[in-house]
Amino acid sequence: MLKGLQRSAKPGQHVRYLCQDETRLGLKTIPGRLITACGVKPIGETQWKRDCFWLYGVVEPLTGFSFFYEFSHLDRPCFQQFLDLLSQELGEDIALIQVDQASAHTANALICPSNIILTFQPSHSPELNPIERFWLLLKKRFAWINCPTLEELRKLLASELEKLSPDTIASLTSYDFILEALFGAASY
């Protein structure tokens, strides 16, 4: 598929392989590991507020490019808006995007922009999507942090996302089987 896209691309137009997913972030405490003395049970402050938002994101395993946007829900209208925003960000480039089979991704009313092609991973297999490792790292950084408001959580999230370099993102998301396929397609 990549080889065919590369052959049909216009001069100066790049074909990119991106991995997309969403994660929910909210005020409920994310538990994590705590270091304690042997035999001492760890204690962490927990809050049970349920206010939350969804962070939609794409990463490019080859370069570490990333694009994130916050939405209130995980549904087709929000995913449609995310695709439209991503399409603008990509400009003339064509993106082959790996997504899971969430109902928002498979909705009949979904209209993909002309420079975006969705490819679906097998259902119930999040381990195949490299962005899942990114979400794990991000949520690990929020372990035991209790933000009193969503606005403070948004500020903390923006700060954490700014700290992540493209090299870090590429290191986390560049699975060998994906890189081999990309290099194989590029050498054709």
Reply yes or no on whether the pLDDT at 3 is more than 80: no
In a domain, 131, yes or no: yes
In this structure, what token pair is assigned to residue 134? Answer: 């990114």
In a domain, 91, yes or no: yes
Mean pLDDT along residues 37-46: 84
Reply yes or no on whether the pLDDT at 75 is more than 80: yes
Phi and psi torsions of 97, nearest 5° = -115, 125
Mean pLDDT along residues 94-109: 94
The residue behind tokens 């829900």 is 73
The reported pTM is 0.88
In a domain, 36, yes or no: no
Q: How far apart are CA 16 and CA 139, in angstroms?
A: 27
Q: What pLDDT, on the 0 to 100 scale, is given for residue 130?
A: 94
Mean pLDDT along residues 92-103: 95
Q: What pLDDT, on the 0 to 100 scale, is given for residue 146?
A: 94
Q: What pLDDT, on the 0 to 100 scale, is given for residue 172?
A: 94
Q: What pLDDT, on the 0 to 100 scale, is given for residue 161?
A: 97
In a domain, 49, yes or no: yes
In a domain, 37, yes or no: no
Q: How does residue 120 score in pLDDT terms, banded at 50, 70 and 90?
A: very high
Domain count, the chain: 1
Question: 145 lies in which domain range?
Answer: 2-30+45-183
The residue behind tokens 């700060």 is 159
Beta-carbon contacts of 45 under 8 Å, excluding residues fewer than 6 positions away, are: 29, 144, 146
Q: What pLDDT, on the 0 to 100 scale, is given for residue 44?
A: 81
In a domain, 161, yes or no: yes
Q: What pLDDT, on the 0 to 100 scale, is given for residue 186?
A: 67
- What CATH number does the domain containing 63 carry? 3.30.420.10
Q: What is the CA radius of gyration of the chain?
A: 18
The mean-pLDDT minimum among 110-114, 153-157, 174-178 falls in 174-178
Reply yes or no on whether the pLDDT at 188 is more than 60: no
In a domain, 39, yes or no: no
Q: What pLDDT, on the 0 to 100 scale, is given for residue 114?
A: 95
In a domain, 25, yes or no: yes
